[in-house]
Amino acid sequence: MQMLKRGLGKDEIFQQTGMVVGVKDANFHVNEGEIFVLMGLSGSGKSTLIRLLNRLVDPTHGQILVGGNDVATMSKQALIELRRKDLAMVFQSFALLPHLSVLRNTAFGLEVAGVDRKTREIRAMEVLDQVGLKAFAQRMPAELSGGMQQRVGLARALAVDPSLMLMDEAFSALDPLKRTEMQELLLKLQAEQQRTIVFVSHDLDEAFHIGNRIAIMEGGRIVQIGTPDEILRNPSDEYVRAFFKGVDVNKYLVARDVASANETLVFQVGADPKADMRKAIAQLRESQRHYAFVVGADGRLQGTVSIDSMYRAMETETNPMATAFLSHIASVPDSIVLRELIGHLVRNPVPLPVVDADNRYLGAVTQTILLKKLVEEVEASHE
Ligand SMILES: Nc1ncnc2c1ncn2[C@@H]1O[C@H](COP(=O)(O)OP(=O)(O)O)[C@@H](O)[C@H]1O
Ligand SMILES: [Mg+2]
């Protein structure tokens, strides 16, 4: 601690003492009902920090206030109570008990808390229903896929109705498709239940997608806290800016290189534009997106639409499609460099269509896609 106070860095302290500075200078406040994401590269201290919140790691110094009580100094008994009643954790490794059924795993927290069997099973069925696993209540964990097992992990945490949920890389072990599915499930439940969640992720896409606010960690410190938009517009220091540095490192990268073909809904309009729009609206709702691109049979981009613009257009009698196009969203030529692309995305923080010289649609770029690409490039350039 004295070396830290004298301003020595993590590496120096390790060299001289063999001790690792896990987390330092981490001051933040989590608002009720928000998803607060801790993001950073591997080894930046995310797990240590989230484990300090329920004292799976004992702090050397500092305060951790949960509902006004200091977790750092509370008695063993108070800590046990807090963990049972107020905190729930979801782990990357699922951490299910293999010899217990899905139902018993889900009810486990309640069982430990001494809730009677009938009450806890009713509650467990309720949350299993919320995560779409009611029909699997009597199965054993090993009979379920990874994604389903993590749904049980989530249900087990929800069952105790925690005032604070801690999720450490909870979706990181899942394949990308399942991972997106779990993110959507979490967002859906969050819209209904407004829980207070601290979520650890090393994935920029995930952090930007689910976080109300994000704390970026580096070397055990929190280097910036803000909404995704604030961080994107105003990177606070060198480390955060390093996410953007890829722009300099990679002058050769152009919009075409980052355009993603499957992030955004693309549809064609046939003889019945209103029916096509209704279908597109339903699909957008389903995937919790707002914008879509309309492309002709020849592959050429016709325009960008939103749920709102389509609703408005459907009320017009003639040529509803033309009315639906958002005139302020221009397409992006595939050959512009990333620095220029950032300018486009800052002016218009929505998915932008990338087209070639013949106006053929190539894919979409979003702030998240771009940032992710830049981080990959920065990481690669550090190796
Ligand atoms: N049990 C431990 N003993 C010693 N050092 C540890 C331990 N756990 C983590 N560390 C170190 O603490 C730092 C932060 O690790 P961690 O919190 O696991 O980071 P993250 O979750 O962001 O990957 C790293 O330097 C890591 O090597
Ligand atoms: Mg970790």
What pLDDT is attached to residue 247?
38
What pLDDT is attached to residue 243?
56
**From ligand 1's centre to the CA of 48, what distance in Å?**
6
Give the per-residue SS3 of 23-74. Answer: CCCCCCCCCCCCEEEEEECCCCCHHHHHHHHCCCCCCCCCCCEECCEECCCC
**From ligand 1's centre to the CA of 220, what distance in Å?**
9
Residue 44 CB–ligand 1 contact under 6 Å: yes
What pLDDT is attached to residue 249?
40
What pLDDT is attached to residue 381?
59
CA-proximal residue: ligand 1, atom 20 (nearest): 43
What pLDDT is attached to residue 66?
93
CA-proximal residue: ligand 1, atom 5 (nearest): 20
| Atom in ligand 1 nearest the alpha carbon of residue 20 | 5
Which strand (E) or helix (H) includes residue 254?
A: none
CA-proximal residue: ligand 1, atom 12 (nearest): 22
Ligand 2 ion: residues within 5 Å (CB): 47
| Atom in ligand 1 nearest the alpha carbon of residue 200 | 21
Residue 47 CB–ligand 1 contact under 6 Å: yes
DSSP-based three-state secondary structure for 20: coil
**pLDDT tens for residues 269-306?**
988 999 999 999 999 999 888 999 999 999 999 999 99
Residue 213 CB–ligand 1 contact under 6 Å: no
DSSP 71-104: TTT--HHHHHHHHHHTEEEEETT----TTS-HHH
What pTM, to 2 d.p., does this model score? Answer: 0.68
Q: Where are the domains of the chain?
A: 20-245, 255-382
What pLDDT is attached to residue 378?
66
CA-proximal residue: ligand 1, atom 16 (nearest): 45
Here the tokens at position 150 are 């993590």
In the chain, beta strands by DSSP E: 35-40, 65-66, 69-70, 87-91, 164-168, 197-201, 213-218, 221-226, 265-267, 291-295, 301-306, 332-333, 352-355, 361-365
Listed as ranges, residues in the chain with pLDDT below 50 are: 246-249
Residue 18 CB–ligand 1 contact under 6 Å: no
Write the class of the CATH domain 255-382. alpha beta
| Atom in ligand 1 nearest the alpha carbon of residue 42 | 23
The CATH number of 20-245 is: 3.40.50.300
